A and B are shown apart, each in its own frame.
Chain A
Amino acid sequence: MASDKERPRSRFSVVLITIAVLYVACLVVFPALALVRGALGDGVGSFFKVLARPDVRSALWMTAKLTAFATIVNSVLGTIIAFVLVRDRFVGKRILNALVDVPFALSPVALGLVLLTLFGKGGLLRPLTDAIGLEVAFAWPSMALATTFVTLPFVVREVGPVLEEMGTDQELAAYTLGASPLATFVRVTLPGIRSGLAYGATLTVARAIGEFGAVLIVSGGIASKTETATVLVYRALEDRDDRGAYVVAVVLALASVVLLLVLDLLRKRRTSGREPRR
């Protein structure tokens, strides 16, 4: 892989490598180790004792549910959006394309504010949700909305380039051989974009697990009810419940390390025999 881009080792190179390694170590590795030490400071036994607490379990379960919701919704609709953006042509497509990136630019806090404005006390959509009898603000629907919003771009932006690269020859072949559009999609397109979809979905999971700002605002933070893992960490910090905060934070950090390894694996599989894309 790119062996012709290498440089012979010089003094200059040693200095640069040292700076890069030290920088990443100081910025990322040492803080991460400090966190792990903080969590395991009282021994592994108390670590698991915290994990068995009902509020901790309910918060982790809440995060899992919200993450699953956002990942499923955005995998399906993200694939559709990517498909429409790459394969279709119509007026306003560029605007649609630009809209996809908006969640990256909007602060999660601003998103929480918007959801409160819409669904909070005297909110704009409140008459509608009241009519259905659905409690949105300070309940799981608004948290699911927030999580889905912040993770919207990932699948679209990962599936899009794969679709483009794949071209239409195979889809066309299937179609002309008599396959229905749906059959063509399921049998030809979907297998082709599998790698991009898996990568995008993993990014979605990672971001969804870590979502904090918007969920903090819209959840109301009722312990054991509407609390996610990140919100629990925040409450624990406020309540000086350091043990609880550290243990849940380490669980979240571990999850992100696992997801990172999954991403690395997916990247390797996708780029085997090709130049890395990212």
Chain B
Amino acid sequence: MQLYLSRVAPSEQFGHPAADLSASVEVSRSLHRGWLGKLRPSSERVGLRVIATAYLVAMVVVPIATLVREGFSAGTKHIIAAVTHPVALAALWLSLKTGLFMALVNAVMGTLIAYVLVRYRFPGRKLLDLLIDLPFAIPTLVTGMMIVTLLGPHAALGKLFAAAGVRVVYAAPAITLALLFVTLPLVVRSVQPVLLELDIAEEEAAFTLGAGEWATFRRVTLPAIAPAILAGALQSFARALGEFGSIVVVAGNLPRKTLTAAVYVFGEVESGDLRSASAMSLLLVAISFLVVLALDLLSRKKQPRG
């Protein structure tokens, strides 16, 4: 971030090279008094600061604190008991399993799509680029409906899968599919800008030295975009843990079988057990938080800031 005061000293920065010393002093004085000056906070600045802080405290800190309070209200023992309950444990395991598998597929396919979008020109490229954002804009509940409509027991494709003996809807594959849909933009949009800014000269050099396109990608491009891929994959994993709207429709939500952690929380809330719901929510938040922390460390390593 730009430090404001360090940039304003010479008067010519204001486009008045002829300004005399007194004007310059006047300027710097008014700046010290001003809303942007850093030395003496003006009432406007303090006011804005208070508004921003108050809003974030009310909207973010209070909910998190409430969750922690409710979760711990019956003691740590209860939390452990709540999340190690077989149904809860199975739900958590299913969420982690489908989330990890999704993140893996997403990393590969997201990178491929980003590469294709940046490096190639072909008819329909703009449309493809636009479609990547569609999952973000579509309500997740509608996403779930789409999948059931296409692959459900009454759909032609669904019957085909059923005939082949593969359960898609109301089973883990549909959960993974829903997660892949919902998180499609994350890896693509994380890798795309990095690819765009990558110096093509290195790839061309590898090319002219006789490396094939695959070898070039693996040896030259991949190392450069690996942090972006990992960041996108971690983000999609964190997003997947909390996903509810699409999964509740496609999963069938059978305890110990097709019930994910977020849907489990919903079930506990519906049956009035707010404490167990809070315990599982806390665990999910903690996992997400660790993932976000890893992401933060990763991005700081990538581009050290002064």
Contact B1 A86 (CB under 8 A): yes
Within the assembled complex, what's the spacing in Å between the Cα atoms of A260 and B139? 13
Contact B118 A5 (CB under 8 A): yes
Contact B146 A35 (CB under 8 A): yes
Contact A6 B35 (CB under 8 A): no
B184 to chain A, nearest CB (A): 7
Contact A124 B66 (CB under 8 A): yes
A28 to chain B, nearest CB (A): 6
Within the assembled complex, what's the spacing in Å between the Cα atoms of A277 and B197? 10
Measured between beta carbons, the chain B residues less than 8 angstroms from A249 are: 139, 141-142, 145
Q: Does B285 touch A at the CB level, under 8 Å? A: yes
Q: Does A132 touch B at the CB level, under 8 Å? A: no
Q: Does B36 touch A at the CB level, under 8 Å? A: yes
Given known pairs A16-B112, A106-B63, the reply for A9 and B120 (CB within 8 Å) is: yes
Q: Using a CB-CB cutoff of 8 Å, which residues 159-188 of chain A contact chain B?
A: 164, 167-169, 171-173, 175-176, 181-182, 184
A168 to chain B, nearest CB (A): 5
Contact A27 B180 (CB under 8 A): yes
Contact A35 B142 (CB under 8 A): yes
Measured between beta carbons, the chain A residues less than 8 angstroms from B255 are: none
Q: Does B131 touch A at the CB level, under 8 Å? A: yes
Name the residue of chain B whose CB is nearest to the CB of A182.
Answer: B44
Contact A276 B64 (CB under 8 A): no
Within the assembled complex, what's the spacing in Å between the Cα atoms of A72 and B134? 24
Q: Which of B44, B133, B239, B244 contacts A181 (CB 8 A)?
A: B44
Q: Using a CB-CB cutoff of 8 Å, which residues 154-197 of chain B contact chain A?
A: 155, 177, 180-181, 184, 189, 192-193, 195-197
Contact A24 B132 (CB under 8 A): yes
Q: Using a CB-CB cutoff of 8 Å, which residues 218-274 of chain B contact chain A?
A: 238-239, 241-245, 248-249, 262-263, 265-266, 269, 274
Q: Which of B61, B128, B238 contacts A24 (CB 8 A)?
A: B128
Number of interface residues of B (CB under 8 A): 107
Q: Does A38 touch B at the CB level, under 8 Å? A: yes
Contact A88 B45 (CB under 8 A): yes
Q: Which of A5, A28, A116 contacts B200 (CB 8 A)?
A: A5
Measured between beta carbons, the chain A residues less than 8 angstroms from B8 are: 172
Contact B27 A106 (CB under 8 A): no
Name the residue of chain B whose CB is nearest to the CB of A209.
Answer: B139
Q: Which of A113, A175, A209 contacts B36 (CB 8 A)?
A: A175
Measured between beta carbons, the chain B residues less than 8 angstroms from A277 are: 193
Contact B52 A84 (CB under 8 A): yes
Q: Does A206 touch B at the CB level, under 8 Å? A: yes
A229 to chain B, nearest CB (A): 8
Given known pairs A19-B112, A213-B245, the reply for A109 and B49 (CB within 8 Å) is: no
Contact B55 A168 (CB under 8 A): no
Measured between beta carbons, the chain A residues less than 8 angstroms from B15 are: 173
B265 to chain A, nearest CB (A): 5
Name the residue of chain A whose CB is nearest to the CB of B207.
Answer: A7
Q: How many interface residues does chain A have, given as a range?
A: 35 or more
Q: Using a CB-CB cutoff of 8 Å, which residues 40-73 of chain B contact chain A?
A: 41-42, 44-45, 48-49, 51-53, 55-56, 59-64, 66-67, 69-70
Q: Does A108 touch B at the CB level, under 8 Å? A: yes
Contact B146 A16 (CB under 8 A): no
Give per-residue flags for A9-28: 1 if the beta carbon is below 8 A from chain B beta carbons, else 0.
11011001101110110011
Q: Does A2 touch B at the CB level, under 8 Å? A: yes
Q: Does B213 touch A at the CB level, under 8 Å? A: yes
Measured between beta carbons, the chain B residues less than 8 angstroms from A81 are: 52, 55-56
Within the assembled complex, what's the spacing in Å between the Cα atoms of A2 and B197? 9
Within the assembled complex, what's the spacing in Å between the Cα atoms of A149 and B66? 15
Q: Does B137 touch A at the CB level, under 8 Å? A: yes
Given known pairs A28-B134, A38-B149, the reply for A117 and B274 (CB within 8 Å) is: yes
Measured between beta carbons, the chain A residues less than 8 angstroms from B66 are: 114, 117-118, 124
Q: Which of A13, A88, A168 contacts B49 (CB 8 A)?
A: A88
Contact B289 A105 (CB under 8 A): yes
Contact A212 B48 (CB under 8 A): no
Contact B119 A6 (CB under 8 A): yes
Q: Does A52 touch B at the CB level, under 8 Å? A: no
Most buried by A among B59, B64, B70: B59
Contact B244 A23 (CB under 8 A): no
Name the residue of chain A whose CB is nearest to the CB of B243.
Answer: A107
Contact A27 B63 (CB under 8 A): no
6 pairs of residues in contact across A and B, judged by CB atoms under 8 Å: A21-B128, A24-B131, A81-B56, A87-B36, A106-B64, A172-B14
Chain A positions near chain B (C-beta within 8 angstroms): 2, 4-7, 9-10, 12-13, 16-17, 19-21, 23-24, 27-32, 34-35, 37-38, 77, 80-81, 83-90, 92, 96, 99-118, 124, 148-149, 152, 164, 167-169, 171-173, 175-176, 181-182, 184, 206, 209-213, 216-217, 230, 233-234, 237, 245-246, 249, 252-253, 256-257, 259-261, 263-264, 275-278
Beyond A28-B131, A115-B63: 9 further Cβ-contacts under 8 Å?
A81-B52, A101-B292, A107-B243, A109-B281, A110-B285, A114-B70, A172-B36, A237-B249, A260-B134
Across the A-B interface, give the 10 residue pairs with the lowest CB-CB distance, nearest first: A107-B242, A210-B139, A31-B146, A256-B137, A110-B281, A213-B244, A34-B150, A181-B35, A212-B245, A84-B52
